[in-house]
Structure 1
Amino acid sequence: MLSELHPPSLGAGTRQPEADRRPHAVVIGSGFGGLAAAIRLGARGYRVTVLESLDQPGGRARVFRQDGFTFDAGPTIVTAPHLFEELWALCGRRMEDDVRLTALDPFYRLIFADGSSLDCCGDETKMRARIAAFAPGDSAGYEAFMRDAEAIYGVGFEQLADVPFGTLVDMLKALPAMARLRADRSVYGLAARHVRDERLRTALSFHPLFIGGNPFATTAIYALVIHLERKFGVHFAQGGTGALVAGLVKLLEGQGATLRYGAEVAEITVAHGAATGVRLADGQAIAADVVVSNADAAYTYGTLLKAQPRQRWSDAKLKRARYSMSVVVWYFGTRRRYDSVPHHSILFGPRYRGLVDDIFERKVLSQDFSLYLHRPTATDPTLAPEGCDAFYALVPVPNLQSGTDWATEVEPFRARIQQRLEATLLPGLGDSLVSSRLMTPPDFRDELLSVHGAAFGLEPRLLQSAWFRPHNRSEEVDRLYLVGAGTHPGAGLPGVLSSAAILDTVVPHATRLV
């Protein structure tokens, strides 16, 4: 084994027992994709080391704690809980013993610029009635859209999400189904085909923004998200999304894995065309039989493999690639509660397509914006001091290719978010603030190592999806594998968990390497 020929130097107190002769897997990054990959590798006989550059696990799903408030830094919406339950089952445990999920109703409240609103839920009877009242005349079109979304889900998620698109043959096999589902059409185009009310078109097509996609350019395959929500519901982990991260770390510790924080990987080492381990920023070398990167895919190829000749993901290709939007997230706490505000709210601005074009095409920071407001204390009051509320407001913005000077723009932008919230959902917000924190596109670049500060990696367009996306088994280097938002099937918790499940197909069982 490579790990026997070049034993890793893990430092005092962290060296694995000499008797442990299992093949060694190194996982770069402890986001949900990396944690899930590590658990699956451990269950398949590998000795696993997870390397995280931050001081805590979770990656984008890390946790901020300040002033008595607990803020989930990233993902807040949990769909497809069975993908998490599979990980607990692999360890002979039950998820409910460590993490409690609460189903939300409504999933979220959509609030439009004209003041109208729509509460979305999984109850089909309720939704039919709400659509009939919200957009009279579009009921039949809504039902047709949902039938299409269900059919797309049956192929796009159930059949293709955990299939590795490692060869062009894989793509060719999927083409008939993708053509039948009109994958060339955008999510918005699918909605516009069925309904006339522009607000309803927005309500049925905004979901790609959850995964960094342009609703007017993202393939209609991603309409499966709305059926995924209906089928499995929208859930919240009591204690916050960080409770899921802590639960996965507990599983890894139970498997005997090693987790190292403050361990920034500078390079994936390669010999004779195969990954042999990693070199840390402090110069330390760690040997491995397989390497799994949960880092941003463009960062993996452009930085961690910078010294290696690359054919498909060359520097020129990475420069030409299209990257997702970024986001500004304002985390804040109030000394009062806003009990009329649901767990999830989405406030749409006066423009939809124009704003999306500003973000993805023109790459300019607009004065107007749409935002997602997360109020976790609606479901779990323990995330704030008694009588207080915790929030985060997430606003899609262009990535750093816009050239925006965030050092000067961030506070005026935050002030506009506060003004908008005060005028709509949170009256008296300014007088109630007791805690505040911001995350901006440069933070995604500098702390999460995302190229161009893109919050979701490569943009999920048709020609950057499936076979066209960086493969789960690297095309450039043997024994290197990719998981997370930047590889197939894409961003979002179901996507990154599915990318880890693909490893069961493409990574050899540990017994084959002994």
Structure 2
Amino acid sequence: MNVVQGFGLPKPQSIGSTRPHAAVIGAGIGGLAAGALLGAKGYRVTIFDPLDKPGGRAYAFEQDGFTFDAGPTIITAPWLFEQLWEACGGKLSDDVDIRPNIPFYKIRFPDGTFFTYSADKDAMEAEIAKIEPDDVKGYRSFMAESKEIYEYAFLELADKPFHSLPFTLSTFAKLIRLGGYRSVYNVVSKHFKNDRLRSVFSFHPLLIGGNPFTTTSFYCLIAHLESKHGVHYAMGGTNALARGIASLVTRNGGQIRYQETVDTILTSGRHATGVRLSSGETVPADIVVSNSDPATTYSKLLKDLPRRRWSDGKLGRQDYSMGLFVWYFGTDRRYDDVGHHTMLFGPRYKGLLKDIFKNRVLAEDFSLYLHRPSANDPSVGPDGCDAYYVLSPVPNLKGDADWETVAEQYRAKIAAELEATLLPDLSKHIVSSRISTPLDFRDRLLSWQGAAFSLQPNLFQSAWFRPHNKSEELDNLFLCGAGTHPGAGLPGVVCSAKIVAELAPDPETLTAVQAGTEASV
């Protein structure tokens, strides 16, 4: 068997209608990648998605001449996509133009000062020394610890399925030694004394839906991941990456059926037999892959299945990520002193996160992430214009915010803050605008509780404790995406797709079984 290094899959098989069928629920990055890899493995693949084009959370809105990435904007492990393309018989650079962002981003403190975050060690130490010279040594020790965590938790475990307790226990001693029982903030505080620097080096879990004060310290690995491999952007937006993966699916004979919602996963005993669409159409399948939230998969798509582990009660007790308020807007002028990625820290850090994750109240203050892709990509807006989105972490729908009432008021507060800090006269130059709230995540993306990143990455919601990539409830149901192992973020969902493709049975074996069954009949 000719195997592609990195993903461990055979090179693409010939297209044929008699191949075993894989039904994939959801055309997000995880579902698309799983579909592409299963096609390369020899399956006939059909992907179903309620939206009108690929991407899921990585969708793109196009209006008034602007292109707005709906969700993820930061690519931190481009080699994973290179391996994905190679496994499917292609070359990433032929379909998608991924370029580094230098610096990664700028962080603005409430007093108007900035911290420039990059991979340049000397520049980073100079930035730290401006705030607290004594913490330069702490930066060095933190990056050393981040590297150690990365080399084990990411390189060795991110693409390995945590299905068995023995395997989990075999990794447990080293995971404990690496301090997984501590939070990201706890580890960062061990190395940095200055509160501002503690915020700078601990906010990363928010990019994948975690509270830095409760997220397992394994996610300290992000600092080394960024430093080693950089922060990248796909020209045309992240949805260009989704479109590229979609093309891998169709090149190998797969089909993507947009504006089709899966209503039910059909079962017989412990076997998934296909899916039923909201239209009433049933589609038989040899395996089913769900890129939907695990809570949606189990509580809605398998609502009538008696479940051993993921009962409705247990799913309801899990801790889900925060929600997001996102304002997409275009301006008829450029703000060329604003970079591609800017974080605007609010007056509170721990208190705000407590309000979002624990108290679930919509606070008066906020912290923001401002994305300006037109800083590097003129294709996302008309000449002389800027395209933006600004994101504010907010409580998910377990909170009591009435978004139908407060959304515009909240947008106006954010606009006023941006006008006062980074974008002077903003209100005079807005020519395109739209908003997204946790209601949109629930209703449009079918996200449980309107959570933007599915389950939080806490210690006891990681690895073996997350819903498994090979379902515990059905023998031929597989899960990929943010809610399963290894978790949210583009690297995580691609790794989950790789795990699914490797766990799925060899289609030649299924074909032989089918042939034997037909012969006996």
Contact 1:150 1:227 in 2 (8 A): yes
SS at structure 2 position matched to 1:340: coil
Q: What residue is the counterpart of 2:483 in the other structure?
A: 486
Are 2:398 and 1:392 equivalent residues in the alignment?
Answer: no
Gaps of 5+ in 2: 1-13, 512-521
Residues 292-348 of structure 1: per-residue CA shift (max 9 Å, x gap):
000011100110010100111101101111111000000000000000000000001
Contact 1:279 1:286 in 2 (8 A): yes
Residue identity matched to 2:362: L
- 1:179 pairs, out of 157, 176, 182, with 176
Q: What residue is the counterpart of 2:36 in the other structure?
A: 39
Contact 1:470 1:488 in 2 (8 A): yes
Instruction: Name the stretch that deviates more: 363-372 or 135-144.
Output: 135-144
Superposed, 1:104-119 pairs within 5 Å as 104-119=101-116
Are 2:399 and 1:402 equivalent residues in the alignment?
Answer: yes
Q: What residue is the counterpart of 1:96 in the other structure?
A: 93
Report the CA distance between 1:395 and its aligned residue.
Answer: 0.3
Residue identity matched to 1:36: A
Report the CA distance between 1:18 and its aligned residue.
Answer: 12
Contact 2:34 2:501 in 1 (8 A): no
Q: What residue is the counterpart of 2:420 in the other structure?
A: 423
Are 2:281 and 1:287 equivalent residues in the alignment?
Answer: no
- Cα distance in 1 for residues equivalent to 2:15 and 2:267: 24
Residues 65-96 of structure 1: per-residue CA shift (max 9 Å, x gap):
00000001011001100111111101222111
Report the CA distance between 1:23 and its aligned residue.
Answer: 0.5
Contact 2:61 2:70 in 1 (8 A): yes
Decide whether aligned partners of structure 1 residues 19 and 230 sit closer, same or farther in structure 2, where only a CA change above 3 A counts.
closer
Residue identity matched to 1:429: L
Residue identity matched to 2:435: L
Contact 2:355 2:361 in 1 (8 A): yes
Report the CA distance between 1:114 and its aligned residue.
Answer: 2.3
Report the CA distance between 1:136 and its aligned residue.
Answer: 1.4
Contact 1:190 1:220 in 2 (8 A): yes
- Cα distance in 2 for residues equivalent to 1:468 and 1:354: 28
- Cα distance in 2 for residues equivalent to 1:335 and 1:135: 40
Report the CA distance between 1:19 and its aligned residue.
Answer: 6.2
SS at structure 1 position matched to 2:398: helix
- Cα distance in 2 for residues equivalent to 1:509 and 1:336: 55
- Cα distance in 1 for residues equivalent to 2:50 and 2:271: 24
Residue identity matched to 2:504: V
Aligned-pair Cα RMSD in Å: 1.1
- Cα distance in 2 for residues equivalent to 1:493 and 1:91: 18
- Cα distance in 2 for residues equivalent to 1:483 and 1:144: 35
Are 2:143 and 1:146 equivalent residues in the alignment?
Answer: yes
Report the CA distance between 1:424 and its aligned residue.
Answer: 0.4
Residues 135-175 of structure 1: per-residue CA shift (max 9 Å, x gap):
21100011111111000001110011001001111211111
SS at structure 1 position matched to 2:454: coil
Decide whether aligned partners of structure 1 residues 358 and 45 sit closer, same or farther in structure 2, where only a CA change above 3 A counts.
same
Superposed, 1:102-501 pairs within 5 Å as 102-501=99-498
Count residues with an aligned counterpart.
Answer: 498
- 2:509 pairs, out of 493, 496, 512, with 512
Report the CA distance between 1:130 and its aligned residue.
Answer: 2.0
TM-score, normalization by structure 1? 0.96
SS at structure 1 position matched to 2:428: helix
SS at structure 1 position matched to 2:369: strand
Residue identity matched to 2:463: A
Gaps of 5+ in 1: 1-16
SS at structure 2 position matched to 1:402: coil
Residues 462-512 of structure 1: per-residue CA shift (max 9 Å, x gap):
111000000000001110000000000000000000101112331112112
- Cα distance in 2 for residues equivalent to 1:18 and 1:31: 23
- Cα distance in 2 for residues equivalent to 1:318 and 1:254: 37
Residue identity matched to 1:181: L
Are 2:30 and 1:30 equivalent residues in the alignment?
Answer: no
TM-score, normalization by structure 2? 0.94
- Cα distance in 2 for residues equivalent to 1:19 and 1:405: 51
- Cα distance in 2 for residues equivalent to 1:18 and 1:326: 41
Contact 1:170 1:467 in 2 (8 A): no
- Cα distance in 2 for residues equivalent to 1:363 and 1:130: 34
